[in-house]
A and B are shown apart, each in its own frame.
Chain A
Amino acid sequence: MSGRLVLAAALGAAVLAPLVAPTYQALLMLPFMAYAVALLGLNLLFGYTGLVSFGHALFLGIGAYTGAFLTSVFKVRSMEVILVAAAALGALVAAPVGALCVRYVKIYFGMLTLAFGMVFYTFVLKFYRLTGGDEGMPFLRPALVGRSLEDLPKTDYLVGPYYYYSLAVLVLATLVMWRIVRSPFGLCLKTIRDNPLKAESLGVSVPRYRWYAFMISAVYAAAGGALLATPTGNVDPTLAYWTHSGNIVFMVLLGGFSSFFGPLLGAFAFIFLQDTVMSVFPYWRLVFGAMLAFIVIFAPSGLMGLFARRRPVETSRA
């Protein structure tokens, strides 16, 4: 089956899921779609630019807290405004953080992003009066496309309008990212990933393009964070904790960072696998740890690598 058919089938299944799947499974699709948006951005940094961030939960947290502040403090309930504000705030924070981080590579870059993530985590944990500390803040139900939908029972809201809203955001985010990675800008990122010295000799400003990629990935992560927090109705500091950053890196590895759709598959597999494993075995982290070791050693291309044994050739026709 060609890639396009698989994609169409996956999209069709996602559209039909709330209608045919059990409600519980449809609800599990919500964090998948939120993470998928964030991972599209993270993989621009990881798979296309060659930088591994261990602190991207920072931006998920920013997106989630932006929504919480807007809905519960400023009484702004429009999801469109929340998403735009989350993205803008994500970019605003990413600008100085990224400018510092992209001066370093490999483990130093990873550790620096981790450090900034922990600074934000400590901030939201300790500034109790502002953020509610470890109890977090309420994220009130947002209105979708100008419709308040307050009268709907929560589950109906989530597996109905909110589900399709999330799906629409994911499709839009995917289309935009698809375009980005196939643009001249995307090619510049790939040259940096493959050989920064050579990229520089061809006139590609390596720090500048890394910074752009960092900003875009932060925008995606913040939007994903806002989508992620809506179903729970509450945000707390664990969203920005380093283990959360580790989880999203794991999702990318699980799906395969060298493929455009790998991280999305990784998010899907992670969410449903976590749910399944947790229901039968309390030490789910043990299982996931073993899986991570297996992937790194035996399947570095992730689940997508099982379908396509090698990275597709980058040609002008791609």
Chain B
Amino acid sequence: MILEAHDIRKLYGAYVALDSVSLSIREGEFVSIIGPNGAGKSTLINVLTGVLPPSGGTVRFKGRDIAGIGTVALTRLGMARSFQLVQIFPELSVLVTLQAAVISRLGRGARLLSSLGADREVHADALEVATLFGLGDKAHALARELPQGDKKLLDVASAFALRPEIILLDEPTSGVSTADKHVVMDILVKAAKRIGLRAIIQVEHDMDIVFGYSDRIIALHQGKVLADATPAAIQADARVVDMVVGRRRH
């Protein structure tokens, strides 16, 4: 078990955002978390990534309690995330953005007087990730000047450049045109294999993406786990289909 949450509760005052949520992520899994707005998906991601401490329960990553330890510490442990709203460094180029992730991973951020430009390892690593995500030809373009789809790719690519063991993607295809969604997901899956990612968790609204790529689906409803099963089992569960998934056209 690489990531395990047990009996998680998260309260905002009297409002219960998460109520006795338990889940476990195994080696090699691609898990999607789905649910309607207000189901607690983003809160769950924030608790799993150590941004928010749970009001109760435990979160263990590689056997270690990580509840509320913070993003930076979790990143060092091998967990990365991307955001629902695209997060980039507008004034930095694609390559430099990826270099920032690489130097963070290599623990070289505190090097005060060494030349970044002369660090071939960082340069090569960043360029490899850029190429992997189809951004190689835009390596020197400013992030703010990229099309929206490429911004999203850069956001996800920078998380991959950390070469994490597990990655949590908050709506990786939001803001991406319908035509490009599968392109983005294919790139993402290919990159995950290339860097040896141990597990992927995504929050996603697009059911074609969810059912097309997931090994397992966790459906949340009003802060509780409604179902935790394979795509086929979810599809066969009328209650989940009605409350969360909706009738899909084939």
Interface residues of A (CB under 8 A from B): 176, 179-180, 182-188, 190-191, 193-195, 197-205, 209, 212, 311, 313-318
Contacts and interface: CB of A to CB of B under 8 A. Distances in A.
Contact of A202 (B100, B117, B142): B100
Given A190-B91, A195-B90, 13 more contacts: A182-B115, A184-B103, A187-B96, A188-B104, A190-B100, A194-B90, A198-B83, A198-B88, A201-B83, A202-B100, A203-B104, A313-B140, A316-B123
A186 B87 contact: no
Contact of B72 (A176, A182, A191, A204): A204
Contacts of B76: 203
B91 A314 contact: yes
B104 A204 contact: yes
Contacts of A191: 89, 92, 97, 100
B112 interface: yes
B140 A200 contact: no
A190 B90 CA distance: 10
Contact of A313 (B93, B101, B113, B162): B93
B111 A185 contact: yes
B80 A201 contact: yes
A316 B75 contact: no
B136 to A, nearest CB: 13
Interface residues of B, number: 44
A313 B100 CA distance: 15
Interface string B89-121: 111110111011101110011111111110100
A313 B90 CA distance: 10
B173 interface: no
A267 to B, nearest CB: 24
A314 B92 CA distance: 5
Most chain B beta carbons < 10 A, residue from A176, A183, A185, A212:
A183
20 contacts: A183-B112, A183-B115, A184-B111, A185-B110, A190-B92, A190-B100, A194-B90, A197-B87, A200-B71, A202-B75, A202-B100, A203-B72, A203-B162, A204-B104, A313-B140, A314-B96, A315-B140, A316-B117, A316-B126, A317-B117
Contacts of A205: 72
A205 B73 CA distance: 9
A311 B62 CA distance: 43
A186 B116 contact: yes
B89 A198 contact: yes
B91 A194 contact: yes
A183 B108 CA distance: 10
B115 A194 contact: no
Interface string B139-169: 0101000000000000100110010000000
Interface string B171-196: 00000000000000000000000000
B146 to A, nearest CB: 13
Contacts of B83: 197-198, 201
A316 B89 contact: no
B81 interface: yes
A186 B100 CA distance: 10
Given A184-B116, A190-B89, A197-B87, A315 B96 contact: yes
Contacts of B119: 184
A313 B126 CA distance: 17
Contacts of B142: 313-314
A224 B90 CA distance: 33
B161 to A, nearest CB: 8
A311 B90 CA distance: 11
Most chain B beta carbons < 10 A, residue from A183, A184, A194:
A184
Nearest to B103: A184
B113 A187 contact: no
Contacts of A199: 89, 100
Contacts of A185: 109-112
A206 to B, nearest CB: 8
A99 B91 CA distance: 27
Contacts of B159: 201-202
Contact of B108 (A184, A200, A209): A184
Contacts of B99: 187, 316
Nearest to A181: B116
Nearest to A185: B112
A98 B123 CA distance: 33
B175 to A, nearest CB: 16
Most chain B beta carbons < 10 A, residue from A188, A194, A197, A201:
A201
Given A197-B87, A316-B123, A188 B81 contact: no
Given A184-B119, A315-B140, A195 B75 contact: no
B89 A194 contact: yes
Most chain B beta carbons < 10 A, residue from A190, A194, A199:
A194
Contacts of A313: 93, 140, 142
Contacts of A204: 72, 100, 104, 109
B37 to A, nearest CB: 22
A182 B81 contact: no
B91 A180 contact: no
Given A184-B114, A187-B100, A202 B93 contact: no
Contacts of A317: 117
